[in-house]
Amino acid sequence: MTPQLWLWLGFAGMAAGAAAILFMGKRRTPAEEADTIIHGIVPIIAACSYFAMATGQGSIVLPAGPDAAEAARQFYFARYIDWTFTTPLLLLGLSRTAMHSGMRRPAIVWGLIGSDLIMIVTALAFGLSTVAWIKWTWFAISCGAFLAVFYGIFVQLREENAAERADVQSAFRRNAVFLTVVWCIYPVVLLVGQDGLGILSPAMALGVVALSDLTAKVAYGVVATRETTRAVDRDLAEGRTPAAPLRRAA
């Protein structure tokens, strides 16, 4: 497939995915409504990004660098704008799953989002750089911020999730592993794609990113929305409506 076909596929898949998530998501409680909106907005933002890239408005031509075989490369800056909005929303949704009974420690969420934004901005600087030592320094910083995101998920959020009932703990573990496995694909593609070592062809790199995006934003959104629905089913059956944060004892 050509790069253009992958971009249009990404646009169509995101648009269809957003409609599916918003249609299947329920709004019986404030928590359920918020999760439906969060996971529905994510592919809408991504669809806009893919439309911009497919129509030529979301990319620029940059020098390939002194060691590259080609003189120029297409740099898709729209995907970084997409990630700046969508990945914090995904982390917010995951945090809400971890602390289903109430957002007890919002500082953890802010730390996750801050680390995530540092990761994205430094990855953007990596992609824009043409001087080797500057490029790879930005890449290393971005990977460090990526590790900080994992720490927030698997240490801090997991600690808070331990206070929830067993089904919520299982849902959080499944969602965290799902999202983490997919997200690990991105730095590898950046490393070996046209913005990095140039091992992957532009079409192949776009294809891998498009499929990863569809998995992380549409497939994950469907899974996370269903997990929330199951948790709220039990809440309602037991006469509980999670909406307001729980207060810690002084």
Decide: 156 and 137 in contact? Cβ < 8 Å. Answer: no
Q: Is CATH 3.30.70.1150 the right assignment for the domain spanning 3-237?
A: no
pLDDT score of 250 = 33
Q: What is the dihedral of CA 168, 174, 177, 181, to 10 degrees?
A: -150
pLDDT along the chain (250 residues), means of 10: 94 97 90 93 98 96 66 91 97 95 92 98 96 95 97 96 94 96 96 92 95 97 93 83 44
Decide: 86 and 45 in contact? Cβ < 8 Å. Answer: yes
Q: What is the dihedral of CA 168, 173, 178, 180, to 10 degrees?
A: 130
Domain borders along the chain are 3-237
pLDDT score of 70 = 60
pLDDT score of 246 = 38
pLDDT score of 208 = 97
pTM here? 0.90
Report the distance separating Cα 241 and Cα 87, nearest Å. Answer: 27
pLDDT score of 78 = 97
